Structure 1
Amino acid sequence: MPLDPQWDYRFPYRHLYPADHYKYTRMLFECFLDPSYDDWLVTVVEDSFEPGGETSVVSFGVWDVSYINKRRYAVIDVEEWGGRTRRDANHEHFNEFWKGQIRAYKKFFGSIGPDQLHLQILATLPDFQRRGHASSLC
């Protein structure tokens, strides 16, 4: 994700505050992987460095499938997790990015309605890029 330009826009201070960046990124991924949080579908691709070698996860996709089963719990409270105090983010950029997402959603999907899924995150380790792994997750 750091190779994605929007990551630099939202988290320009991640190198100054790596502990904050790690903490909040980990929290996000824990939500994705928590079986009780069924708004997400995580798909993975495994590969190995050597043909026939031991495989490990090299690419993953996170799909927002909340339209199927709207979360039964309250939306994660950013304040409760201390998200407003994270030092790795540019909060003004973060808010503008969020507003841009809302505008884009209304423009492109507003007439369709909320009953749809979308890709939240798609990532592949650099050594395994250009092998079709990410494409296979879409």
Structure 2
Amino acid sequence: MKKVFTKYLFFIFFLPVLIFMIAYFFSTKTEGEVKTWGVNRTINFGIDINAILSNPIYTISSFYLSYAIYLVGYSVIFLMRRCTNFLYSALNLLIFIANYFLLVNDMLNKILIPISVMGIIIFILNIFKTTKKPTTVNKQPSTIQ
């Protein structure tokens, strides 16, 4: 079971992102463009994804929520004396910085919430890749046969 889970871990965590992208693709409309596809607005459930993505309350909340998750998570990892994967940590930092600068420049940017979600997913992958410090492993040969 562990082998199957780790083999398809990428798809498990990015399936919600894929569903979100498809829903966003069908919910957007541009002015002056005639589309031959879309969601029937008379029978939908009344959720306007475009309005949610461009609402500054949700974008700021997603940024602060991801910041709190990173702060608590990395603090727990530090207190447990574990080492994180360097590439995932650097990627997580870059995504956080990009999200911050996009939030400062334009709070109505529609990419802020997906970037926050992607950063949390990379953080979760980083948690799975944490290892014990190699300096704490006992390297003396065992005398017990």
Q: TM-score range by the shorter chain?
A: under 0.3
TM-score normalised by structure 1 residue count: 0.26
Q: Which has the higher helix share?
A: 2
TM-score normalised by structure 2 residue count: 0.25
By relative contact order (CA 8 Å, sep 6+), the higher-ranking structure is 1
